[in-house]
A = this chain, B = another copy of it.
Amino acid sequence: MALVVQKYGGTSMGSVERIRNVARRVARTYDEGNDMIVVVSAMSGETNKLVALCNEMCEFPSEREYDVMVATGEQVSIALLAMCLQSMGYKAKSYMGFQVPIITDSAYSKARIEEIDGTKIREDLKNGTIVVVAGFQGIDREGSLTTLGRGGSDTSAVAVAAALNADVCEIYTDVDGIYTTDPRIVPEASKMEKVSYEEMLEMASLGSKVLQIRSVEFAKKYGVVVHVRSSFNDNPGTLVTKEDADMEAVLVSGITYDKNEAKVSVMRVPDKPGIAAKLFSPLSEANITVDMIIQNVSHEGYTDLTFTVPRADFKKALKIVEEAAAKVGAAGVDSNESIAKVSIVGVGMRSHSGVASKMFSTLSNEGINIQMISTSEIKVSCVIDDKYTELAVRVLHEAFGLAKG
């Protein structure tokens, strides 16, 4: 007998009929002899409706009250699922975040889980009750409702699994699992049987469509085995788990891309201590996240500094950088919005050489120029002209042998 945590997203909970399907799937796993905790999201569309109502009321809704409002979405879901399970003859009980309790910090609308007390849930499980927990929400130490941000139900599920020491946390979604790359670009992309926490984190741009990244950090920290699978069939999905020997044998596990960045270069920056801080502090003060930063070796006391920012912040960033560049005596600012970042990810890189050079030559063979390079222990990212994105993803997918069968 195992303790299974299952999480169902908004699409799976999208209507009364779909909730009945969820109940049947939950009941089946319970009937197989497992203890069950189910974590659910709001019915699809509900959260958007609630947010729209907030925005109709005022332009900048109070964050505390915003959370009180949007938390109702999951509250409706837990009640419907619990009453459905009961009408099928099962013992079931709903829990709002505060009832567990799931304690978070007070960063409304993006709160972080600090502590989960599993005592009450454990008692319910002991007497055979199926426990239904509202995802996405918690309560802070002052007793105010909080929410975890979009996709936060994944994190709720993993955190509850960690707190209750569950055997597995199954994340049900509308895709079959995590793929080696985006199947819309490479139809031969194959579903990964398993992937390490580290790879999953590096594959943010792939994974975020399926799994909230913070939930992966949580799973990694507490060693929760996460099984990403479809709520529409019984196929095995992808296990997100700790690194093992099988994974290390693979050079590259997946190819990711990101078209949401823009590039800014500051030319002939005096190579003196404190200059980088003068350039980047105003960006961070404006809440602009800088991703890749490349600084070349200095020539005659000057260097070029290149970095990427979210494309949405590009115009704002450019204005700030131009002012800062003038102040530090740089020669000028260059920029490019038409870029994409293509990455290869794999824990196998740690023990295999030549992975990066294979990536570079694969791109160069197609005439794709590499504008920036950045590497981590298990990832190599290249910035290229964004018109080559799909081509680059396809040739890399093939070069590293990731296609099915």
Contacts and interface: CB of A to CB of B under 8 A. Distances in A.
A86 interface: yes
A58 B85 CA distance: 10
A56 interface: yes
Where chain A touches its partner, the secondary structure class is: helix
Interface in A54-72: 54, 56-62, 64-66, 68-69, 71-72
B76 A64 contact: no
Residue picked from A61, A69, A78, A93, most chain B C-beta under 10 Å:
A69
A200 interface: no
Counting contact residues on chain A (CB < 8 A from B), the size range is 35 or more
A399 interface: no
B58 A83 contact: yes
B87 A53 contact: no
A382 interface: no
A290 interface: no
Interface stretch (A94-102, A201-209, A251-259, A344-352): A94-102
Contacts of A79: 54, 65-66, 68-69
Interface string A21-62: 000000000000000000000000000001001101111111
A64 B58 CA distance: 34
A71 B19 CA distance: 20
The number of times this chain is found in the oligomer is 2
Residue picked from A16, A59, A80, A86, most chain B C-beta under 10 Å:
A80
Interface in A132-151: 143-145
A84 interface: yes
B65 A82 contact: yes
Contact of A69 (B19, B65, B80): B80
Contact of A66 (B50, B83, B96, B99): B83
A62 B86 contact: yes
A13 to B, nearest CB: 12
Interface of A: 16, 19-20, 50, 53-54, 56-62, 64-66, 68-69, 71-72, 75-76, 78-80, 82-84, 86-87, 92-94, 96, 98-99, 120, 143-145
